[in-house]
């Protein structure tokens, strides 16, 4: 079927059709492989940052671990071992959950 489109046509206008089809297919491919997943990830990140709660354990994009002490309009205050630090909400990378990072209690598994 593609060979039908690739055959040389006697007129100059018909020879543009395969090029236009290929450009359209490339745009559709880029949309589904690059643009759409990036938009989905940005939407998930925005929803995560909107649902932050006081007391949640989080990790920032720079690697700081801490607990959210206060949430404000322009950012959050994170309590770390060295004190309280203010960060933008966009700097919160992920949740620090027990399932992903279990705390070490006094007992060691043998």
36-87 pLDDT tens trace: 999 998 898 888 888 888 988 998 888 889 999 999 988 899 999 889 999 9
Distances, alpha carbon 80 to alpha carbons 24, 68, 69, 76, 91, in Å: 51, 9, 10, 13, 15
Mean pLDDT of 15-29: 91
Q: What is the pLDDT of residues 31-42, one digit of tens each?
A: 989 999 999 988
In eight-state DSSP terms, residue 34 is I
Closest CA to 67 of 79, 51, 76: 79
How do the domains of the chain map onto residue ranges?
2-47, 53-95
Copy the structure tokens of residue 25.
């297919």
Q: Which residue has the tokens 């709660």?
A: 53
Q: Which residue has the tokens 């920032």?
A: 60
Copy the structure tokens of residue 110.
């043998």
**What is the phi/psi pair of residue 78, to 5°?**
-110, 130
| Cα–Cα distance measured from residue 10 to residue 12, given in angstroms and rounded to the nearest whole number | 7
Q: Is the pLDDT of residue 11 over 60?
A: no
CATH architecture of residue range(s) 53-95:
Roll (2.30)
């Amino acid at each position: 079927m593609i060979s039908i489109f690739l055959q040389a046509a006697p007129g100059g206008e018909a020879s543009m059709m395969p090029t236009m089809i290929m450009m359209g297919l490339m745009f559709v491919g880029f949309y589904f492989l690059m643009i759409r997943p990036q938009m989905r990830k940005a939407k998930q990140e925005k929803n995560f940052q909107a649902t932050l709660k006081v007391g949640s354990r989080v990790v920032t994009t720079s690697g700081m671990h801490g607990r959210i002490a206060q949430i404000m309009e322009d950012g959050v205050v994170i309590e770390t071992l060295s004190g309280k630090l203010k960060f933008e909400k966009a700097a919160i990378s992920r949740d620090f959950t027990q399932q992903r990072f279990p705390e070490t209690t006094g007992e060691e598994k043998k």
